[in-house]
Amino acid sequence: MLLIGSGGSGSQGWGSAGGGAGGVVHATGITCPGGTYPIVIGDGGAPVAGPAAADCEGNTGSPSTATLGSQPYIATGGGGGGSGHSSSPQPTVYGNPGGSGGGGGYYAAGASYPNQGGSGVAPPTSPNSGSSSQTGGISYQNPGGDGNWSVIKASQPNGQCGGGGGGANQNGGSAPEQVPARYGQGGNGISITSFPATVIGPAIPTATLPGAQAPTVAGSPMASASSTTQRAAFTAVVGPTGLYGGGGGAGWVGGPWLGGIGGGGNGSDPGGEGRFGVDGTGSGGGCASGQGTTSGKGGSGICIISYPN
């Protein structure tokens, strides 16, 4: 079974942070009698638009839950990105904890840097490590990156930048992070090879996702098509190796910074919209930089059960 919580949304404002991916739980060897079992799939954290400082912090995603036999499984929702608004009061500037943590935001007025990203939190029914056949399976989660006022590029000697959201296989990029130069990029997702898009993709809905916040496709740089379908986005980012749970990207001058592979939404340049995390991957949404813009929604979770015929 693969169970993924929904992703957190990115924050909004200058030096905004990306949302964290939902927790990814993988369990094998589950035994339960035939019957009906409750499964709830979390929806992604709602996008935020400001302009008030209190409205700029990203929202944490909802958990996904499944009870099979006597064992409850929980995949925690991803943390929302810390506020990027220049007048946001602490602690809203810090990234929120979650399945993977949201990035920490930039904060101008008297802040001490860096501003921490949220921690990755494993639920008690999903141990951090071990074999996927153990009780509760194995869960994957990572912290979000830190936000800072920093040197971000040689061509941009000073700039404010939020941290990238944590991904299922990698922490979110911090500002600055010179080696490697990831800055506010979202953390990469995890590969679960037994659930590739070639098998799962045909079951994903074909609803159209229009507009500037449509999810970015696999391997995309800053720009991507202005619209896509839910199935096309899922198939592109999950791919043949089963990539899930990418963190959302941060942004501001010198960005945008990319979302993590596995469906994380890209952050934006100043004045741009944050990209959505891809539904069905539990990925985090990207930040929106500047006033009058809207951050990216977190991607919804998913539950996939494979059984012998």
The tens digit of pLDDT for each residue in 156-214 reads 545 678 899 999 999 999 876 655 667 889 999 999 999 999 999 999 999 888 777 88
User: Region 58-84: what's the mean pLDDT?
Assistant: 91
pLDDT tens digits, 12-54 = 988 889 999 999 999 888 888 888 899 999 999 999 987 776 6
Domain that holds residue 115: 1-27+36-309
Mean pLDDT of the chain: 85
For the chain, what is the domain count? 1
Q: Is the pLDDT of residue 152 over 60?
A: no
CB atoms within 10 A of CB 193: 9
Q: pLDDT tens for residues 198-231?
A: 999 999 999 888 777 887 665 444 455 677 889 9
The reported pTM is 0.92
Which of 88, 239, 264, 119 lies closest to 184, judged by CA? 264
Distance CA 58, CA 45 (A): 7
Q: Judging by beta carbons within 10 Å of its beta carbon (0-12, 13-18, 19+), is residue 46 exposed, middle or buried?
A: middle
Within 13 Å of residue 271, how many CA atoms lie on the same side as its CB? 0
Question: What proportion of the chain, given as a percentage, has pLDDT over 70?
Answer: 83
Taking each continuous run of H as one helix and of E as one strand, the counts in the chain are 2, 13
pLDDT for res 229: 87
Give the percent of the chain with pLDDT over 90: 52
Q: CA-CA distance, 105 to 118, in Å (whole number)?
A: 10
H runs (alpha helix) in 19-132: none
Which pLDDT does position 205 carry in this prediction? 93
